[in-house]
């Protein structure tokens, strides 16, 4: 139904060209790093160590964030926490409303997720629909002992009864605004901007 125009507007390049000039920076590289350090400590505190932890990032940026959290946990505990990625494209409730989308990688760590504490990692929590899709996707992969949610930014406006356990920054927004998370690995710099 939607013509090609809205698709083009969504392309990442558009965002990266105009992003830094037009947006107001909410977190810079150092804020972002501190927020991830705090999340890492909170995860360890809540889990009482890194035992049976699995970090699953939601592509694309959630996966980078999951790897960073794992690195920070490794610094503190000296233990490598398994990191994977979970693509939720086929589980989205709006799959039928847009043209078929390219799939992103799903990589489950070798130990699986059965009886593990899975921490889902995503960049922005908004409607909660992505997380609902992630919970459904996980259902087909295994049965974790518990599932937690870590997000870099919680911008509110939930459509579903879903909340994050670990939040980098609570960011009150209006629905007209858009939040852009940019990460070194993917966009060449670390920042969160609002526009």
Partner 1 sequence: MKKHLLSAADLTRDDAELILETAEELRSLADRPIKKLPALRGRTIVNLFFEDSTRTRISFEAAAKRLSADVINFSAKGSSLSKGESLKDTALTLEAMGADAVVVRHWASGAPHNLANAGWSRSSVINAGDGTHEHPTQALLDAFTMTRHLAPEKGQGLDGRRVAIVGDVLHSRVARSNALLLHTLGAEVTLVAPPTLLPYGVDSWNVQTSYDLDAVLPKTDVVMMLRVQRERMNASYFPSVREYSRRYGLDARRMATLQDHAIVMHPGPMIRGMEITADVADSERSVIVEQVTNGVAVRMAVLYLLLGGAEPAITTGDTVPEPVEGSTSSTTGDGDDA
Using CB under 8 A, list all residues that contact partner 1.
Answer: 1-2, 4, 7-12, 14-16, 19, 59-61, 87, 90-92, 94-108, 122-127, 129-130, 136, 140-142, 151, 155, 178-182, 186-187
Name, in order, each residue with C-beta under 8 angstroms of 129's C-beta and a sequence gap of 6 or more: 92, 93, 94, 159, 160
Closer residue to partner 1, CB minimum distance, 73 or 113 = 113
Nearer to partner 1, 73 or 138 (CB): 138
Rank residues 74 and 178 by Cβ distance to partner 1 and give the closer one: 178
Q: How far is the CB of 63 from partner 1 (least distance, A)?
A: 10
Q: In this complex, which beta carbon is closest to partner 1, that of residue 55 or of residue 181?
A: 181
Q: 61 burial class (0-12, 13-18, 19+ CB within 10 angstroms)? A: buried
3-state secondary structure of 180: strand
3-state secondary structure of 25: strand
């Amino acid at each position: 139904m939607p013509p090609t125009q809205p698709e083009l507007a969504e392309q990442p390049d558009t965002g990266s060209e105009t992003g830094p000039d037009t947006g107001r920076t909410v977190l810079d590289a150092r804020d972002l790093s501190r927020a991830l350090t705090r999340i890492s400590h909170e995860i360890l505190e809540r889990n009482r160590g890194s035992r049976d932890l699995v970090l699953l990032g939601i592509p694309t940026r959630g996966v980078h964030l999951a790897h960073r959290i794992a690195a920070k946990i490794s610094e503190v505990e000296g233990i490598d926490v398994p990191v994977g990625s979970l693509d939720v494209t086929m589980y989205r409730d709006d799959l039928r409303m847009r043209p078929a989308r390219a799939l992103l990688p799903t990589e489950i760590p070798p130990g699986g997720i059965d009886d593990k504490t899975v921490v889902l990692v995503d960049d922005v929590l908004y409607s909660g629909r992505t997380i609902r899709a992630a919970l459904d996707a996980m259902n087909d992969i295994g049965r974790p002992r518990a599932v937690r949610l870590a997000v870099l930014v919680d911008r509110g406006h939930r459509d579903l009864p879903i909340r994050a356990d670990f939040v980098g920054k609570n960011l009150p927004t209006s629905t007209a605004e858009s939040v852009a998370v940019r990460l070194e690995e993917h966009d060449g710099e670390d920042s969160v901007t609002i526009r």
